[in-house]
Amino acid sequence: MSPLKHKHPEGPYWRSLGELAGDPDLQQLIDHGVVPPDLGAPSRRGFLKALGASAALAGLAACRWPEEKILPYAHRPAGQTPGTPQHFATAMEIDGVALPLVATSYDGRPIKVDGNPAHPASGGASTTIAQASVLGLYDPDRSRGVVERDGANELNRDWAAAEAWLKGRLDAHASDAGAGMHLLLPITSSPTAQHLVESIEARLPRATIHRWSPISRRNESLGAMAALGQPGRPLLDLEQAHVVLAIDEDLFQGHPDAVRLSGQWGRRRDPDQEHMLQLISVESGFSLTGAVADHRLPLAPSRIPGFLAAVALALFDQHHIAVPAGGEAIVSKLREHFANAQAHELAAQAAQALASASTHAAVVVGPGQGVGAHSIGWLINSALRSGAVKVLLLPDEQISGTLESLAAAVAGGSVQTLLVLDTNPALDAPADFDFAAALASVPHSAHLGLYRDETGQACQWHLPMAHYLEAWGDSRSWDGTLGIAQPLIEPLYTGRSVIELLSFLATGAHTPGYDLVRGGFAGAGVLDALNGRTTEQVWSQALADGFTATHFSQSDPPVSRFQALTPSLDPSGDLALSAAPASGLQLRFAPCPKVLDGRFANNAWLQELPDPISKLTWDNAALMSPATALGLGVTSGDMLTIGVLGVSIEIPACVMPGIAADTAVLPLGYGRKAAGAVAALAGVDVYPLRDSRSMWSVGGATATKLGRRHTLASTQDHYGIDARGAAEAEGRISRLVRTAELADYKHHPDFAQHTVHAPPPISSWKEHEYKAEAWGMIIDLNKCTGCGACTMACQAENNIPVVGKDDVIMGREMHWIRNDRYFAGDVEQPSVAFQPVTCMHCELAPCEQVCPVAATQHSDDGINTMVYNRCVGTRYCANNCPYKVRRFNFFAYTKGASAIEQMVRNPEVTVRSRGVMEKCSFCQQRISAARIKARNEGRELRDGEVLPACAQVCPAGAISFGDYNDPDSRVAALAQSPRTYELLPELNLKQRTRYMARVKNPIATADAGEHDDHGDDGHGGQAPTTVHSAATDELGARSATARQQSEKQQNSDHGGHNQ
């Protein structure tokens, strides 16, 4: 256990102080994996309890450690003060990419994780999934022990029995050197795991190791292999970029490096800098990247490679960029196949923008694109000599087997023993492998996983896996930095990690994870550069920091390797859809931004987090554009049968503007059968439609309306609104999310101040004076990517309950900060505006006025506080809040959580009871903690010392927090910006949360200079709510442009793009 500041490489790990003190119940849990009744085994009403897990209840004695047992500390462990949080660096690995984290631990239980501020891949920020992972740790539905299935009987076993069985298998395979033994591993970058795999291969040379992830970025590395002759991954550096063209790639959410990229995006979206980043996005679904892009073009999956080819050809032919050496063959192939294709207008514009940005331009291609498209991406980046994309050359470890080879081996009957580690192929393998049936034919099988999931139930043995917060590990972040994951708590349910199991296979004995990681660390080449320090010093430092500064080698895109390109640039091959013709409905499979491929499906926080664009919770749906839906005769909620390649599923339709025409986007990871009580409620499994030839998209699908309906739990009405309401909503957006184009902004930097003119507000009474701090928040809408991490961090920090699908349908979600999403313009090509909305902490708060029992009050430092125990629950405050940020406990959402579930709760924040109003407090507990610290040190609070959870987590750095009364503070400076405005200023509420207007950076065209000169009118402030046309009609103007583009696109589509 190594706190950030104190370095104690070793020490006791305990789950609670009760264990340290020898609590017999806990001891039983540790020794036998038996959860005593008062620790709350999940009952049939597991769902309610899962809901309860999302909130805290400090009032019950059982929630925390038995307090009387704290005292027997004879010797307090160094660095431990009961009740004082400690922070430990760790890391969360998803598909081989680590997100460096710092976990907050209260008395031995981790309650919150945040990004590691010292790490370049995080900078202190993190993601929704990382934030929610703490809830997953305490999930009562996690697998709680070893289970052996013998025919129809299921027997509870322990690890000793499992080890005996494993040993038996190892012995059985000793004679044939492992032939017939297969291991299915997740994709991992752990040097320890790699080292152990090598040991296993040495011991059982004929054993086969396979790796599998349903959402791997395999095409990306194959593309690099094809183009560069070496596996590698693109390292995009937005700091160096002026223009980025994203082809079906979500840089800000789906991407493994999204946190770092979002941070760069935030820094590069300051309109006052010389070259504000320009982003162009072409995609089939609707990603965050598309949402924040300056230009976005929705294209069906089959048309995207053509677009990329058109950009490449325009660059080489119209803009006379030199083809890199070795690339001529590709270009001639492109000419051959795409010369007659009528490209979209945006392709020409994008090519022009890329050409003029030259070395500051970059093209990124998403994992859903074929190898060919990735090759073209490399070609363009090489040709432009882009300084914004580097190659991270990966060690050659992609040689191991794949799921495909495993499926073939199983079908061939050569698999005697199959060990499936931390993957779930019974759920997510391509449908044509029929893996669940294949598993049944394997004589000996075992599964290690967090849940006894679909694979766990299909295998003979299921072994519980340790959560990442329970286990030692190591892994590399996207840029190759090696990080160490240290556990915060002993395994709650006797789980073991993947490396521990691998080590058992390698050695035939159990080795604790710590020793393995320590050994792997020694073997990872870290110690090559000791610089005079001892191994122990290096290790301690790495443990405290969470990472070491060793990277794989990076290089500029090599320009000389293109001769190695595979000859697969046939539109019928990798460049296009491989499995079906581009006719009929095209399906695009997309990892869900919340549950990913389904592995987080049992996380109630994530399930209830609204999807950033569709705002769906607790469900997936076939997302399609209004035109596509009209063609099918469906509206949101209509059940559809979607069939392709002879398989069909039933799924509700969700009409969402901006999805490509004739395309349905199917989010993966829902409809889980064996993932727990929470996941069982949510959505439809779309994996049956996905086969190995069409992992990401497929054409020629059919969709038929079933005539049944399904109620989708959306937190925002999306086109369920009547025409009048929709028109009004669209009309208001320009007042709420103030937007200008960069050229207009340069001309009128204060456009945001003149979007709405109201009569000067006058208060009829003496207002408060705030002589102490005046806490305030400024949210830069130009940086916000809408990812929703703020909502999730707030939920984790403030014990916000989950209400469940039915109550979301009723409109009762509890999030204290929500991200409003508005569409504007043409419904087929809308522009999107995000606006995180939290309590404005109005100085003249309308909620305070109307509360009859004075339960909501202003503090001296100007925070609108809720006094929960004084609240009677009239809900008048919520009615009178113009921002609708107050949240009411309609039921006892926090009641009934088991002791384990309650462990996630933050003891610094009151758990609210039924009938009480709650809302954002600016994380008052953090302000208090910082103030106490400052007072103890005899100094003033420093700017930046207090960070609310939302500001801390925001990867784009869009949220700033501080003291308006401190003239040197960041918020005081930002408040002076002409872009800073108040939401609904005409109400004279003196909001403390303010916004900075968006500035879009569209590609300059010939008529871009035109804008009406409105700088001199309306400054008298007399005209009530005068809305300036240029600033506010921006969305409208964009929509007009988009409509023209849409028409042109249709023309081009009819113009023979598909040859």
Partner 1 sequence: MSFLNTPEPIDNTWERPGERPPLTTPEQTFTTVTDTVCGIVENPKPPRAWWIALGVSLSLLGLFGAMIVYLLFTGIGVWGVNNPVGWGFAIVNLVFWIGIGHAGTLISAILFLFRQKWRTAVNRFAEAMTIFAVACAGVFPSIHVGRAWVLHWFFPVPNQMDMWPNFRSPLLWDLIAIATYLTVSLMFWYMGLIPDLATLRDRAKSKVRQIAYGIPALGWRGSNRHWLRFERAYLLLAGLATPLVLSVHSVVSFDFATSQLPGWHTTIFPPYFVAGAVFGGFAMVALLIIPSRELFGLKQLITIRHIENMNKIMLLTGSLVGYAYAMEFFIAWYSGNSFETFAFLNRAFGPYAWAYWIMIGCNVIAPQFFWSKRLRTSPWFAFGIVALINVGMWFERYVIIVTSLSRDFLPSSWEYYSPTWVDGLTLLGSFGLFFTLFLLFVRFLPMIAMAEIKTVMPAADAHQADHKPLGDYWGDFPQGRAERSRWRASVGLEAKGDNKLPAGSRFDPPADQDSEEVTS
Q: How far is the CB of 485 from partner 1 (least distance, A)?
A: 38
Instruction: Find the shortest distance in angstroms from Cβ 878 to partner 1.
Output: 5
Query: Closest Cα partner for 427 from 147, 673, 183?
Result: 673
β-sheet bridge partners, residue 836: 819
Is the CB of 130 or the CB of 656 nearer to partner 1?
656
Q: What does the alpha-carbon distance between residue 597 and residue 696 come to, in Å, rounded to a whole number?
A: 12
Q: How far is the CB of 683 from partner 1 (least distance, A)?
A: 22
Q: Which of 190, 230, 3 is nearest to 95 (CA)?
A: 190
Q: Which is nearer to partner 1, 717 or 943 (CB)?
A: 717
Considering the complex, state which of residue 82 and residue 873 has its C-beta at the smaller distance from partner 1.
873
Residue closer to partner 1 (CB basis): 361 or 1035: 1035
Q: Which is nearer to partner 1, 67 or 728 (CB)?
A: 728
Q: What are phi and psi of 960, to 5 degrees?
A: -115, 145
Closest CA to 394 of 252, 91, 188: 188
Closest CB 317 distance from partner 1, rounded Å: 46
Q: How far apart are CA 988 and CA 979, in angstroms?
A: 19
Which one, of 350, 348, 198, lies nearest residue 281 by Cα?
350
Nearer Cβ to partner 1, position 320 or 724?
724
Q: Give 232's strand partners.
A: 393
What's the min distance (Å) between Cβ of 840 and partner 1?
11
In total, the chain counts a number of residues equal to 1059
**Main-chain dihedrals φ then ψ at residue 105, nearest 5 degrees:** -125, 130
Cβ at position 1024, least distance to partner 1 in Å: 5
> What does 307-362 look like in DSSP terms, one character per residue?
HHHHHHHIIIIIS-PPPPTT-HHHHHHHHHHHTT----HHHHHHHHHHHHHGGGEE
Task: Give the SS3 label for residue 371.
Answer: helix
Sequence-ordered list of residues with C-beta below 8 angstroms from that of 380, at least 6 positions apart, any chain: 311, 312, 315, 354, 363
Which is nearer to partner 1, 314 or 616 (by Cβ)?
616
508 versus 882: smaller Cβ distance to partner 1:
882
Q: How far is the CB of 820 from partner 1 (least distance, A)?
A: 4
Q: Pick the closer one to partner 1 by CB: 867 or 975.
A: 867
Q: How many CB atoms lie within 10 A of CB 399?
A: 7
Of 395 and 811, nearer to partner 1 (C-beta) is 811
CB of 651 to partner 1, least distance (A): 24
- Would you say 233 or 990 has its CB closer to partner 1? 990
Q: How remote is the C-alpha of 532 from its chain's centroid? A: 40
Task: Look up residue 863 and give its amino acid.
Answer: I
For the chain, give me the number of helices (H) and strands (E)? 34, 43
Cross-strand bridge partners of residue 476: 482
Nearer to partner 1, 318 or 879 (CB): 879
Shortest reach from residue 1041's CB to partner 1, in Å? 23
Minimum CB distance to partner 1, residue 432 (Å): 43
Which residue number, 307 or 995, has a Cβ lying nearer to partner 1?
Answer: 995
Q: What are phi and psi of 120, to 5 degrees?
A: -65, -25
Interatomic CA distance for residues 348 and 354, integer angstroms: 10
Nearest distance from C-beta of residue 37 to partner 1, angstroms: 26
Cβ-based neighbour number of residue 328 at 10 Å: 13
Least distance in Å: CB of 532 to partner 1? 58
Tell me how far CA of residue 700 lies from CA of 302, 372, 645, 659, 697, in angstroms. Answer: 11, 22, 8, 17, 10
Q: Give the binding site for partner 1 (CB under 8 A).
A: 716-717, 721-722, 724-725, 728-729, 731-733, 736, 807, 810-813, 818, 820-822, 835, 837, 846, 849-854, 870-876, 878-880, 882-884, 887-892, 913-917, 984, 987, 1024-1025
Q: How far is the CB of 867 from partner 1 (least distance, A)?
A: 9
For the CA atoms of 473, 477, 483, 486, what is the dihedral angle to 10 degrees? -40
Is the CB of 706 or the CB of 1027 nearer to partner 1?
A: 1027
DSSP output for 2-61: -BSSS--S-----S-HHHHTT-HHHHHHHHH----GGG----TTHHHHHHHTTS--TTSG
Are the C-beta atoms of residues 750 and 1031 closer than 8 Å to each other?
Answer: no
CA distances from 664 to 239, 516, 823 (A): 34, 46, 19
Residues 6+ apart with CB under 8 A from 130: 92, 99, 101, 113, 115
Q: CB 63 → partner 1: shortest distance, Å? A: 21
Nearest to 447 by CA among 460, 438, 466: 460
**688 or 896: CB nearest partner 1:** 896
Q: Which residues 6+ apart lie within 8 Å of 431 measured at CB?
A: 647, 687, 688, 689, 690, 691
3-state class (DSSP) for residue 1049 = helix
Task: CB nearer to partner 1: give 165 or 888.
Answer: 888
Q: Residue 847 Cβ, how far from partner 1 at the closest point, in Å?
A: 10
Q: Residue 149 CB, nearest distance to partner 1 (Å)?
A: 41
Rounded-to-integer distance, Cα 125 and Cα 500, Å: 30
Residue among 622 and 983 whose Cβ is closer to partner 1: 983
Q: Which residue is it, tokens 């990401």?
A: 696
In the complex, least distance from residue 846 CB atom to partner 1, rounded to whole angstroms: 6
Residue 837: helix, strand or coil by DSSP? Answer: strand
Q: Are 293 and 1002 in contact (CB under 8 A)?
A: no
Percent helix, strand and coil across the chain, each rounded to 5?
Answer: 35, 20, 45
Q: For partner 1, which is the closer residue by CB, 16 or 894?
A: 894
Q: Which residues pair with 818 in a beta bridge?
A: 837
Minimum CB–partner distance for residue 901 and partner 1 (Å): 20
